Structure 1
Amino acid sequence: MRQNTARRTALLDAAIEVLAKEGSRGLTLRAVDKEAGVPTGTTTNYFANRAELLRQIMARTHERLTPDPAALAETMKAKPTPELTATLLRQLLDRMRADRSSHLAMLELRLEATRRPELQEDLTRTFTAMLEANIAWHLDAGLPGDHDTVLLLYIAMLGVIVDDLTVPGLLEPYGIEKIIDVLVQRSLPRQQPTT
């Protein structure tokens, strides 16, 4: 297998685009070559098979959707309040919208995993690690809420993101900003000062 990191990344980015546009059935090594604008057979030189390509797509989408550390550090200068949590959720949605292809590719991988047990295992392991890391980050950052609250926020935001990216008109009448505000208010009610 070839080791040119820049070329491998470009091929993975092309695979994400194919997966987002054509679905898992349209994801072939040849389709990735075409999307990347490289000679036929190039993808085969970098990925042993389609299963290996799917595993590496998972890692690449995670890289692409991870927040910029400097921007996140700037956001985290604020006091850890429910309002900061709402800001972080809005930024999450903004990242998904900015890289719609990565999130749609991940949705396609989820669907493909229902038909491929080995991919199901990989996805479960990957998503479990990501979810637990996100929960730990939230708690370590001193943001309000406990483990279960963060889990519920994750589940709710996943639904918001899926609807926003796939049928945006569905939630539009309700206002995404308002949905996020209500979600945070109901999940993390403001503590009343004790006297």
Structure 2
Amino acid sequence: MTHTFAMPSTIMTLGAQAMEPWAMGHSIGNLLTQIHALVDTHLSHPSTYRSIVPSTLDFVPALDAYLAHQRAVDGCTLPMPYDYQNTTDRKTRASRRRFVARYSRMLEAEFKRTVLEQLSSIFQDWSVEQTRLFNKGVDKAVCGIQWVAYPEENVAMCAGDGDWATWLKERCDELGMREFGAGRKALEEI
């Protein structure tokens, strides 16, 4: 039994930024970086927990619903308090960390798949320069780094549900070495 990850108003808002690739990339990257913290908070409550969010943002309720479903499937419906001071059992702490890591990976992959499904036509219509700006926006949100040169391939389409930060770092390291070898700066001034 699977659960769909639907966030139509978020996708619509992101799609409206099609003419501003850096802003769209930065927005997607920011949403991606919030997943781990939201999973961590969710596990501190029963599986039916719903985060408090503005009514215009359907990303968090979609995440809550997906996580509640997955926790029910896994039989992990009770709260897993974030209480290291009162927990002397290392196994309990490790179990919670494993669940946070597992659910974070699952939700990040589902978010990336949804973004790619819904926005791939926009990504395909972009010029090389727009794709580079998108990658730059994602990189700024996910890593906080701003390289001078970015790859021509779209991170969302090439890295898929893999680690976007790693994919960007590998490509930007190569491009940065070329820039440095040509006597130019590899990183932008802050």
**Structure with the bigger percentage of helix:** 1
TM-score, normalisation: structure 2: 0.31
Structure with higher RCO (Cα < 8 A, 6+ apart) = 2
